[in-house]
Amino acid sequence: MTAPSFWTTRRRDQLTAYVFITPALFGAVAFVFLPLVLVVWYSLHEWNVLADSFNFVGAENYQKLADDPNFPAVLRATAFFSIGLVVLNLGLALLLAVLLNQKLRGTTFFRVLFFSPVVVSLLAWTIVWGFLLQDNGGINGLLDAVGIDGPNWLRSGGTAMASVVIVQVFKNVGLNMVLFLAALQGVPQDLYEAARTDGASPWTIFRRITLPLISPTILLTSIITVVGSLQVFAQISVLTQGGPGTSTTVLVYYLYQQAFQFHAFGYGATLSVVLFLIVLALTVLQWQMRKRWVFHEH
């Protein structure tokens, strides 16, 4: 009797699997896991690129974060942007999807209309809106024509953040709208017929049938939108540069300022660790919550 060969079928299958995933694994390690580890490592250092200094300082950057007088304002701005964006974007996307799911003439035209900003370059979109929102720009020109003296949208504390949120809502609402449309069309028609036969009102039908059945899509879109909202950068950089004051300085923009403008790469890394933890916590939270509010999962 010979000794069993090392290359059992199972081992051979495993090797094949590893060989197949190696290219993807290499990419994930090089561009996701390694940077993640390095950022944590950098956050423990005082790193000034110009002076070529890279000194281990332990938790000093985290202490600096706790004492940073700007940080609460930055967190507030980030929360305001994210909550504003998620509520407006999901609300509007759902409303549009329900409206455009009707069997009416012209719905295709409006679907294309609302989806088209999604395929426009983000920078081009933002720059054009920057012109429109100038004090002597197109929006105030329109308001002027109907006798309203519009505010200086991007330069006053009250309207700057709201303007950035709205520019971003219109940019991406089409994507969520299409996802919602797909979900709405997946709801079986016989459920609606049965409900109507039982005399349910349109609102009851929406609340009791439509919403529960599209809840997986609501979960998906809310995760994508929340995570995306925390990464907002180009819009802030083009429209407001974090101003006026610090009213639109969101976390990613603040991180950029610290690392790339003030040369404090270590502190910038600390801020990105915080950003990572926030995104992680929110995603885990939403995933946990799905058990409570996602009623229908394939």
Partner 1 sequence: MRKTVAVAATVALFGALTACGGGEAESGGPVTLRMTTWSANPDHVKLFDAIAAEYKTTHPDVTVKFDALPFENYTTTVTTQIAGGNAPDIAWILEGAAPDFVASGALTPLDDSIEDAADLAPTATALWKQDGKLMGYPFSTSPFGVFVNTDLLKKAGQTLPTGDQWTWDNASKVAAATAAKTGKQGLVVRDFDYKDWTNLATVFRGWGAEAWTADGKTCGFDQPPMVDAMTFLHKAIFTDKALPAPGVAADFFAGESAMTIAQISRASLLKEDGFGWTLVPLPAGPSGSYAVIGQGGIGVLKKGKNAAAAQEFVKFFTSPANSAKLAQFFPPPRQSQLNADTLAKANPLLKPEQLQDVVIDGIENGVVKPSHAGSAEINQAVRSGLDPLWKPGADVTGVLKGVCTAINPLLAK
Q: How far is the CB of 88 from partner 1 (least distance, A)?
A: 24
The 216-255 site mask, x for binding partner 1 (CB under 8 A), equals -------------------------xxxxxx---------
CA 99 to chain centre: 24
CA 146 to CA 163: how far, in whole Å?
20
Q: How far is the CB of 255 from partner 1 (least distance, A)?
A: 13
Residues 45-74 that bind partner 1 (CB under 8 A): 48-52
* Interface with partner 1, residue 150, by CB under 8 A: no
Nearer Cβ to partner 1, position 263 or 290? 263
Nearer Cβ to partner 1, position 98 or 162? 162
Kind plus residue range of the DSSP H or E element containing 116: helix 107-119
Neighbours of 278 (CB within 10 A): 18
Per-residue exposure over 240-272, b if at least 16 CB sit within 10 Å of its own CB, e if not = bebebebbbbbbbbbbbbbbeeeebbbbbbbbb
Per CB under 8 A, the segment of 21-29, 58-66, 173-181, 276-284 that binds partner 1 is 21-29
CA 296 to CA 61: how far, in whole Å?
45
Residue type, 47: W
Per CB under 8 A, the segment of 22-30, 102-110, 120-128, 275-283 that binds partner 1 is 22-30
Q: How far is the CB of 263 from partner 1 (least distance, A)?
A: 6
Q: How far is the CB of 87 from partner 1 (least distance, A)?
A: 27
Q: Find out whether 269 and 258 touch, Cβ atoms under 8 Å.
A: no
The 248-277 site mask, x for binding partner 1 (CB under 8 A), equals ---------x--xxxx-x------------
CA 85 to CA 172: how far, in whole Å?
10
* Interface with partner 1, residue 135, by CB under 8 A: yes
Q: Token digits for 173?
A: 């609402």
Q: Which listed residue (134, 215, 222, 286) binds partner 1 by CB under 8 A?
A: 134
Q: What torsion, rounded to 10 degrees, do the Cα atoms 215, 216, 222, 225 define?
A: -140
Write out the residues near partner 1 by the rule CB under 8 A.
18, 25-26, 29-30, 34, 48-52, 134-137, 152, 154-157, 241-246, 257, 260-263, 265
